[in-house]
Amino acid sequence: MATTQVPPPGRTVIEDPRTRRQRPSGQRSKTNFELYAWLFMRLSGLALIVLVLGHLLIMNVLDGGVQRINFGFVAGRWSSPFWRTWDLLMLWLAELHGANGLRTVINDYAERAPTRFWLKMLLYSSAVLVLMLGTLVIFTFDPTIG
């Protein structure tokens, strides 16, 4: 696609689906990263519907809500490998799903290149922090601490 569409005054042209996007640099992306990101959002979304809605139902209704929650409650729950696996899977899928969502939001609204770059660095740093800290806590939880 060599021609660039110029919108007539006062009109926005929305490209047909599957139109190849012209990059400002004129180069085509060498990978299908955006396709895999799009697919990941749908697959992780399906899994998260079960993982997160189940988690919210159990924690907020079936187990009596935040009133019941304390260190002993967490220790009881994480004595089971099933719930530790559930929480680990939920942590990774939710954080990656959310980080990719915010990446899209930053790309949409931050127009200056340095702003986009630094906002995304902040986003990726926070995602790495959350994933590492959460994983560490699930794997090294010690019910006899303190």
Contact residues toward other proteins (CB under 8 A) are 10-14, 16, 42, 45-46, 48-49, 52-53, 56, 60-61, 64-67, 69-72, 74-75, 91, 94-95, 98-99, 101-102, 105, 126, 130, 133-134, 136-137, 140-142, 145-146
Least distance between other proteins and beta carbon 108 (Å)? 9
Least distance between other proteins and beta carbon 88 (Å)? 12
Instruction: Provide DSSP, the chain.
Output: ------PPTT-PPPPPTTPPPPPTTSPPPSS-HHHHHHHHHHHHHHHHHHHHHHHHHIIIIIT--GGG-SHHHHHHHTTSHHHHHHHHHHHHHHHHHHHHHHHHHHHHH--SHHHHHHHHHHHHHHHHHHHHHHHHHHHH--TT--
Of the two residues 99 and 110, which places its CB atom closer to other proteins in the complex?
99
Least distance between other proteins and beta carbon 110 (Å)? 14
Of the two residues 29 and 125, which places its CB atom closer to other proteins in the complex?
125
